[in-house]
Structure 1
Amino acid sequence: MLIAWIAGCEIAFWVLLVAGLLARYPLRRPRAGAVLLAATPVVDVALLVAAALDLRGGGEAGRPHALAAVFLGFSVAFGPSMIRWADARFAHRFAGGPPPRKVPKRGVGRVRYEWREWGKAVLAAAIAAALLQAGRWWIGDPARTEALQGMTQLLGVVLAVWLIGWPVWVTVAHLLHTLTPGRGPNR
């Protein structure tokens, strides 16, 4: 049942996002659009309540509960930037706004971007880990919360892979490119 809530909340987030942007730009109803966009965190609260009620009702804390915590963490950490990303594109397409800024392909700008995104991932994982730990504490039975502990460990692995695969890799590539004779620092 909780998997259905997670899927429903993911769908609801995107429906609210698109509805808010459609109201803001093509329909020229900025207040209605702002209300719809501001409602996206309500989706997170609904998922948190659903997971808490399921656990309080005696449900075993399984993978769906762990996924709910991860969804909430990533939604809180990445949600605002996802909304800004989509808003810039809608503004450009429907309201004559400036072209959206592109992520630099290389250079210092790309390095900063990768480290900023990884920082958001750390924040997301910290929120998810806090929720997972709160669930373990709330239930108070290690046998019923093994899946929550396992997800906390998986978050650490994901962060380590992300760190090495993107910010560190891009930083090293940039430094090597910068140190190559005949190349400038931002080429």
Structure 2
Amino acid sequence: MNWIAAIIIACEISFWAVILAGLVTRYLFKKKKLGLFILALIPLIDLTLFIVTAADLYRGATATVAHSIAPLYIGISLAFGKSMIQWADERFQYYVTKEGPKPIRRTGYAHAIHSMKGSLRHVLAFAIGALMILFVVWYINTPEQTAEYQNTLKLWTLILIADIIISASYFIWPRTARKHSE
């Protein structure tokens, strides 16, 4: 594994570790402001990742899959970060502290709308990541060095289209409630 891939993995682990540390601080240690401060550190992880990968390319490295994952990770983190933290927060309150309401499982059109909102966030993540990719490609200005980014954009575009189609399908075939056996 190259060092860029290791940094991306470290950033992903750090992302979830910071969320966990923030939630533990907020709910188990009852330090709400400190917990919020810890959660506010998450964008620094993204910034670190971007600077490291851009510097590596600037020094002459050829973009690898690991380099091209960095803008995806950053776009997804920025577009979904708040909702991922909210998701973790709800589950932490319910499953760990036993103080919050049980997380709901959406069905019907509520699920379809929620899924489409997620797809629209995915569009935002794509826009952020694609702009970062285009900026790096423009700045480096060596097509051979940044060719992997083109492959990433093509694949991500297909994934985004599939995501939107799946979300749209929930309006036609809504998710039904699970039947519980007693």
State the TM-score, normalizing by the size of structure 1.
0.87
**Aligned match of 1:140:** 141
- Between 1 and 2, higher relative CO (CA 8 Å, sep ≥ 6) is seen in 2
**Aligned match of 2:54:** 52
Letter of the 2:133 counterpart: L
SS of 1:143's partner is coil
Query: 1:64, 1:52 → 2: CA distance?
Result: 12
**1:29-58 per-position Cα deviation (integer Å, ceiling 9, x unaligned):** 112211111111110011011111111111
Tell me how far 1:160 sits from its aligned partner. 1.3
Q: CA RMSD in A?
A: 1.5
Pairing 1:35-114 to 2, within 5 Å after superposition: 35-92=37-94, 93-94=96-97, 96-100=99-103, 102-105=104-107, 107-114=108-115
Letter of the 2:45 counterpart: V
**1:138-164 per-position Cα deviation (integer Å, ceiling 9, x unaligned):** 110111111011111111100111122
Query: 2:169, 2:98 → 1: CA distance?
Result: 38
| CA radius of gyration, larger in | 1
Q: Structure 1 stretches (4+) deviating beyond 6 angstroms? A: none
User: Do the aligned partners of 1:25 and 1:95 also contact (CA within 8 Å) in 2?
Assistant: no
**Aligned match of 1:170:** 170
User: Do the aligned partners of 1:60 and 1:144 also contact (CA within 8 Å) in 2?
Assistant: yes
State the TM-score, normalizing by the size of structure 2.
0.89
Identity %: 33
Q: Which runs of 5+ in 1 are unaligned?
A: 178-187
User: Do the aligned partners of 2:109 and 2:170 also contact (CA within 8 Å) in 1?
Assistant: no
Query: 1:30, 1:114 → 2: CA distance?
Result: 30
Query: 1:90, 1:3 → 2: CA distance?
Result: 29
Q: Which runs of 5+ in 2 are unaligned?
A: 177-182
SS of 1:53's partner is helix
Tell me how far 1:95 sits from its aligned partner. 6.6
SS of 1:97's partner is coil
Does 2:141 align with 1:150?
no
User: Do the aligned partners of 1:24 and 1:33 also contact (CA within 8 Å) in 2?
Assistant: yes
**Aligned match of 2:179:** none
Query: 1:57, 1:147 → 2: CA distance?
Result: 17
Tell me how far 1:133 sits from its aligned partner. 0.6
Q: How many residues align?
A: 172
User: Do the aligned partners of 1:73 and 1:125 also contact (CA within 8 Å) in 2?
Assistant: yes
Tell me how far 1:98 sits from its aligned partner. 3.1
